[in-house]
């Protein structure tokens, strides 16, 4: 910078100091801060204008605007910190401010990196596991430093089958969201299949038939589940005592509900339900005293059913008054 420019800056600094009754050093630092902020703002404006002219993609605009702002903020922090803070030359102070600047400018990225370390260290899930996190369910297909990827299941697709979409989840979500792992250690889930039969059906026979069907589909799974449960009990307090299928009885609305509760692999849940339902339909069709329940409306005609009245009011009408 020419000597003449230095003189102009010094004169301007003295004038501002005299006007505000401020020290020369403070005024010089203040003026330097204003110049740096203006230059960085100008750089940001020019770069963003170039990006906007080169592309019309709003997502690209957002990313440039977000990361450029954070980068320039970090640069401003380093430059102005050296100007305003005493002892900045020391290595400890420098790295302390450097770390603070990184955390502020790239807080999401730092959180994602911490999440990746947590995933590697604690392993709440691994590639191949089926999980549910932040309202998204899927199979883990990739893990990286800043994000992990899921092959989505469910959503608009019935049961737990794939939608074909790949969902990318930031690693910091493992700190803020609940994680449900379908396949870690104990690789089975409980599933329930309600079967509703009419009140007139032979429900005891129906319950025995459903129990036989459930036992046929869960024979091998129950033995395997017992072995996995022993291994899982070393890490978790899992206290399942009964791993065999059960049929529960309940009465709801217009029928008797027999609910089959059984263990299944989460990836074959829909296929297992289909097999059980097909056997139930086939088996019930062979028994005339078992029928499925469905919403019905019953009309009562007291003349056709041979009754002249019902209830308290009819009893009072039929009672003859005493005559004396």
pTM (two decimals): 0.60
- CA gap 244, 224 in Å, rounded: 11
Distance from first CA to last CA of the chain, Å, rounded? 133
pLDDT, residue 323, reads 47
Give the pLDDT confidence of 182-229 residue by residue, as tens digits.
Answer: 887 778 888 999 999 999 999 999 999 999 999 998 877 877 787 777
How many angstroms from the chain centroid is the CA of residue 160? 15
The burial of 239, by beta-carbon neighbours within 10 Å (0-12 exposed, 13-18 middle, 19 or more buried), is given as exposed
pLDDT of residue 129: 92
Residues near 209 by beta carbon (within 8 Å), at least 6 away in sequence: 280, 283, 284, 287, 290
pLDDT of residue 312: 45
Q: How far is CA 167 from CA 87, 99, 136, 237, in A?
A: 47, 31, 8, 32
**pLDDT beneath 50: ranges in the chain:** 1, 87, 309-310, 312-320, 322-324
pLDDT at 30: 73
CA distances from 319 to 222, 261, 314 (A): 66, 55, 9
**Structural domain boundaries of the chain?**
7-105, 118-181, 189-284
* C-alpha 29, offset from chain centre: 49
Strand 136-143 and strand 162-170: the pairing is unpaired
pLDDT tens sequence across 262-299: 999 888 889 999 999 999 999 999 999 999 998 877 77
At the top level of CATH, which class does the domain 118-181 belong to? Answer: mainly beta
- Give the other-Cβ count within 10 Å of 250's Cβ: 11
* Architecture in CATH for domain 189-284: 2-Layer Sandwich (3.30)
CA 3 to the chain's CA centroid: 63
pLDDT at 140: 94
Domains 118-181 and 189-284 share a fold: no
Answer whether 94's CB lies under 8 Å from 88's CB.
yes
Task: Return the pLDDT at 316.
Answer: 46
| CA nearest to 205, candidates 45, 213, 192 | 213
């Amino acid at each position: 910078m020419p000597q003449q420019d230095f003189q102009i800056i010094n004169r301007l600094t003295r004038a501002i100091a005299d006007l505000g009754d401020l020290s020369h050093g403070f005024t010089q630092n203040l003026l330097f801060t204003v110049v740096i902020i203006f230059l960085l703002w100008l750089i940001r404006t020019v770069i963003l204008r170039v990006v906007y002219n080169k592309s019309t993609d709003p997502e690209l605009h957002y990313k440039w605007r977000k990361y450029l702002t954070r980068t320039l903020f970090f640069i401003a922090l380093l430059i102005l910190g050296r100007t305003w803070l005493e002892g900045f030359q020391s290595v400890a102070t420098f790295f302390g401010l450097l770390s603070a600047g990184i955390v502020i400018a790239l807080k999401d990225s730092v959180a994602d990196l911490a999440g990746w370390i947590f995933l590697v260290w604690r392993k709440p899930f691994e590639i191949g596991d089926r999980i549910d996190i932040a309202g998204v369910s899927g199979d883990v297909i990739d893990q990286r430093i800043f994000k992990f990827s899921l092959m989505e299941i469910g959503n608009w697709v019935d049961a737990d089958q794939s939608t074909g979409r790949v969902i990318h989840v930031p690693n910091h979500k493992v700190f803020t969201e609940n994680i449900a792992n379908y396949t870690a250690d104990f690789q089975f889930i409980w599933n329930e299949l309600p079967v509703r039969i009419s009140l007139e059906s032979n429900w005891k026979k129906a319950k025995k038939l459903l129990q036989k069907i459930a036992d046929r589909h869960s024979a091998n799974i129950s033995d395997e589940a017992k072995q996995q449960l022993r291994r899982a009990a070393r890490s978790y307090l899992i206290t399942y005592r009964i791993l065999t299928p059960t049929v529960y009885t309940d009465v709801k609305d217009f029928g008797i509900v027999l609910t089959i509760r059984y263990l299944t692999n989460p990836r074959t849940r829909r296929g297992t339900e289909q097999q059980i339902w097909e056997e139930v339909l086939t088996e019930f069709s062979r028994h005339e005293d078992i029928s499925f329940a469905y919403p019905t409306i019953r009309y009562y005609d007291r003349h056709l059913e041979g009754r002249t009245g019902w209830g308290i009011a009819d009893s009072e009408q039929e009672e003859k008054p005493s005559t004396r």
